[in-house]
Structure 1
């Protein structure tokens, strides 16, 4: 029995954790580590996809067990780096499955490199999200999650599409993977379809994925506690993104603050939020309704919600939502289809009727403010998390410069954004409650920059390092 932590420890995200027990090997997520990625790359400096695996293996962004990876990518690597290939090929690692906790790219972003035959288990909602991403996100090697374009060495038009081996899971419905019994426990996060996994082999392991308690109905939360109390949790692999924070807020707090702000704005309201976060969309839509505004969404935000709505995912009231037709040189096929199917407005309509709209724009769409011509009566509502890296802090400063230029409201006296946000991650205070309820024997901190803080919550904490293998 062993656990190998390729990524996901002493960092936020990038989870790639290998569990081996009873002759069965499963990966707990296979995500992109943004911490490791940004050591070498930034927005316009990226891994060279024309070389397939080469850059990723050289910079230790992927595990060195090359038997995990797609045949077409291995053939490319063998031709370009025969000596390195031969050396790495001596390390054989067979994988029986990948257990996906949710659809954020720091948990699924490197699935694209794996053999498409490896079974991948996920919720229906996660698969729906990934199908939507496959349409609205730019085509790239890292976005070949549900399908691969094969072989990668050929020009894109000559490649054939292959399906990845996805399996859908159901809440509290155990399934077997060789000699392990695995039970999904659906949980709440800032994206649809998040789940924990209870994995039963020689020992019992609980993998948290990413989660929070604030938006879970008490009756369902108690059912989770009741189920886990009946199990012996030997090892709890537990996320701790916000372990140092003890303030417990809910989306209701976000709604109340946003309404208070919006009711005092006579001009245009512009907001941003994480595209995947349907809970936040519902909040902002409610703000728009209560202040008698229409909610205008650019192509990518609108498509994400419309596609998920078509897949029977609850995205809330869509009657007040309108598509904002951002002027573009060339529209993609899916953008043209949206314009045919849904009513839309342009920048002139927003400019002439600023008090009637709440418009969503992220940093990469902020230039649209030039066409809207907001003024001192307008407000920018920042409904997204604070920056967590030097690069994102620089982007944040640029973002604020746009708001200052148009003399919009929404910045503090220090020039920082007045945020309206709660995290998709559990606070330290709630985590203490969760751990005390389920009573694991050992806690292993993951998805955190402060693993030592767990020692305040539990008497038996095992802190691990990137690349470490622990034998159980």
Structure 2
């Protein structure tokens, strides 16, 4: 067990294990009367120091060692940086009860198999819940996804307002408006601590409304009369999907999904009576015969991800659609720092194809889901907290949020990073200890610690997690010999290169993909996808896969 003294039983404590000093991977713990409450359990997707990582999770060893004292986990909303870690770590936490609203529950359930569903209870507004020594109430906010919630956490010692992710959108397209009246009422009970989103602290003006994006997309669609319109956005932005559906209908276009995550979110939305006012979105097979001038492709991959639908479309790997000079690609999203290179690669390819694009430099093609300084100041007035602790930001965001709060009259502030155990004393809140924290890395379906030898090898570039397969074929398009496999992966390479069963499976894949008249380029693209699926199923990894076809 960690070298750590448990807090005094009646101490109210706050402990972030992810999400402070970084954007993403949110995970926050609250302690009182010997019990622990978890708020959110998210992931992040990129770390320049860990190449080939699919997903990065917070290391929860601290709370896993205390899992018998966990009273529950509350999920504020359905974004991956708040719920994405649950499927990977749920069993390690002792299958704790999860509390959230219906839409988030629907999204989360789709991350588990039907046989292994989590224990989820749905929360209602204007209702109090007792979770051990914590009294809980959720309050409706607005964000870029349905049902974002703040949490009012009451103990017999103090009251805490945990904001979650939020903005002020006076006329949200989807979901409830912000419950300003309810939020203003709670300050009568004295809010001792506000734990608050810092993402947009450097923005002075309001974040903007989804209604403004609707007006912008309407104008863009109106002017683009020929060719396909391709829109890429964050899959979870249901309001954006509703707008795309609304505007597409207005200009006699049908919406077609490209990307599995979009389909899952769409199904969860319909299940909760969202998106039921726009025409049904189609899958690729149903939409591939629609004329270009009546087509809108809605794609995953706004951040340049090489496995996402937009990348495959732009680089000619989609079997049903391709770009041409009449097409327009709309990036209805912002560039997340660190992804510029991948996104630029896609934009260059779009232009080379003769198509065009517009991105977040175009006014109101995207609006943020996080509060600006103006919105933060309003929240301070509504809640009137005695103490502010900024979260959900890099160190610079947290530091600036502290400065801003002081300028606006917040008397007590505390700058906290991951691992800092904060005692929320009414008079003198302070960091009393730093606990062990860190990251877990998912590659394929395997989990590693940053100190594992495999991860160290990846960081030192001794392993690039790649597989190359050479198919040697004759004039009759038959394999002359079994596929030749070269591997440089996180597992024993001989286990891949000399595995007879794997060779047989890959040979079978070759004949499944091959058809009379198929070009080598199309064959390679088809083989690449199928071979990666075989390796993932057998070995639990997603290597960079290259295919070479040699004709003799």
Normalised by the length of structure 1, the TM-score is 0.75
Are 2:171 and 2:209, in contact at CA under 8 Å, matched by a contact in 1?
Answer: no
Structure 1 regions of 5+ residues with no counterpart? 48-54, 69-90, 135-143, 148-160, 326-343
Q: Which residue of 1 aligns with 2:73?
A: 98
CA 1:180–1:387 in structure 2 vs 1: closer, same or farther (change >3 Å)?
closer
Residues 315-464 of structure 1 mapped to structure 2, 5 A cutoff: 315-319=275-279, 321-325=281-285, 344-346=286-288, 349-350=289-290, 353-363=291-301, 364-366=308-310, 367-369=312-314, 370=316, 372-389=321-338, 392-411=339-358, 420-449=365-394, 450-454=397-401, 455-457=403-405, 458-464=410-416
- CA offset digits 1:266-290 (Å, max 9, x no partner): 2221111111111000111122122
Q: Which residue of 2 aligns with 1:41?
A: 50
Q: Which secondary structure state, in structure 2, belongs to the residue aligned with residue 317 of structure 1?
A: coil
1:261 aligns with 2:213: no
Choose the corresponding residue for 1:212, options 167, 171, 176.
Answer: 167
CA 1:240–1:45 in structure 2 vs 1: closer, same or farther (change >3 Å)?
closer
State how many pairs are aligned. 386
Q: Which secondary structure state, in structure 2, belongs to the residue aligned with residue 386 of structure 1?
A: coil
Task: Give 1:447 deviation, angstroms.
Answer: 0.1
Residues 10-409 of structure 1 mapped to structure 2, 5 A cutoff: 10-34=21-45, 38-42=47-51, 44-46=52-54, 61-65=58-62, 67-68=64-65, 94-111=69-86, 112-113=88-89, 114-132=92-110, 134=111, 144=112, 161-201=115-155, 202-215=157-170, 221-248=179-206, 249-265=208-224, 266-298=226-258, 300=260, 303-304=263-264, 306-319=266-279, 321-325=281-285, 344-346=286-288, 349-350=289-290, 353-363=291-301, 364-366=308-310, 367-369=312-314, 370=316, 372-389=321-338, 392-409=339-356
Are 2:262 and 2:300, in contact at CA under 8 Å, matched by a contact in 1?
Answer: no
Q: Take 2:262 and 2:60, find their aligned partners in 1: how far apart are those partners? A: 36
CA 1:404–1:440 in structure 2 vs 1: closer, same or farther (change >3 Å)?
same
Task: Give 1:240 deviation, angstroms.
Answer: 1.1
- CA offset digits 1:399-445 (Å, max 9, x no partner): 11221122222258xx9788711112222211111112210000100
Q: Take 1:164 and 1:221, find their aligned partners in 2: how far apart are those partners? A: 29
Q: Take 2:378 and 2:331, find their aligned partners in 1: how far apart are those partners? A: 30
Task: Give 1:388 deviation, angstroms.
Answer: 1.9
Q: Which secondary structure state, in structure 2, belongs to the residue aligned with residue 190 of structure 1?
A: coil
Are 1:382 and 1:419, in contact at CA under 8 Å, matched by a contact in 2?
Answer: no
Are 2:256 and 2:297, in contact at CA under 8 Å, matched by a contact in 1?
Answer: yes
Choose the corresponding residue for 1:465, options 414, 417, 422.
Answer: 417
Are 1:270 and 1:361, in contact at CA under 8 Å, matched by a contact in 2?
Answer: yes
- CA offset digits 1:371-422 (Å, max 9, x no partner): 5444333211111122222xx112111211221122222258xx97887111
Once the two structures are overlaid, the 10-residue window that deviates more, 370-379 or 392-401, is 370-379
Q: Which residue of 2 aligns with 1:5?
A: 16
Q: Which has the higher contact order (CA 8 A, sep 6+)?
A: 1
Q: Take 1:271 and 1:5, find their aligned partners in 2: how far apart are those partners? A: 36
Give the number of the structure whose residues are more often helix, by fraction: 1
Q: Take 1:102 and 1:221, find their aligned partners in 2: how far apart are those partners? A: 16
Q: Take 1:29 and 1:66, find their aligned partners in 2: how far apart are those partners? A: 13
Are 1:298 and 1:361, in contact at CA under 8 Å, matched by a contact in 2?
Answer: yes
CA 1:400–1:420 in structure 2 vs 1: closer, same or farther (change >3 Å)?
same
Once the two structures are overlaid, the 10-residue window that deviates more, 305-314 or 458-467, is 305-314
Once the two structures are overlaid, the 10-residue window that deviates more, 9-18 or 236-245, is 9-18
Q: Take 1:93 and 1:104, find their aligned partners in 2: how far apart are those partners? A: 27
Task: Give 1:316 deviation, angstroms.
Answer: 3.6
Say what the alpha-carbon RMSD is for the aligned residues: 2.8
Task: Give 1:210 deviation, angstroms.
Answer: 0.8
Are 2:141 and 2:148, in contact at CA under 8 Å, matched by a contact in 1?
Answer: yes
Are 1:373 and 1:406, in contact at CA under 8 Å, matched by a contact in 2?
Answer: no
Are 2:254 and 2:295, in contact at CA under 8 Å, matched by a contact in 1?
Answer: yes
Are 2:167 and 2:369, in contact at CA under 8 Å, matched by a contact in 1?
Answer: yes
- CA offset digits 1:143-165 (Å, max 9, x no partner): x5x87xxxxxxxxxxxxx44422
Are 1:308 and 1:315, in contact at CA under 8 Å, matched by a contact in 2?
Answer: no
Are 1:65 and 1:92, in contact at CA under 8 Å, matched by a contact in 2?
Answer: no
CA 1:463–1:298 in structure 2 vs 1: closer, same or farther (change >3 Å)?
same
Q: Take 2:361 and 2:178, find their aligned partners in 1: how far apart are those partners? A: 38
CA 1:93–1:321 in structure 2 vs 1: closer, same or farther (change >3 Å)?
closer
Normalised by the length of structure 2, the TM-score is 0.64
Q: Which secondary structure state, in structure 1, belongs to the residue aligned with residue 43 of structure 2?
A: coil
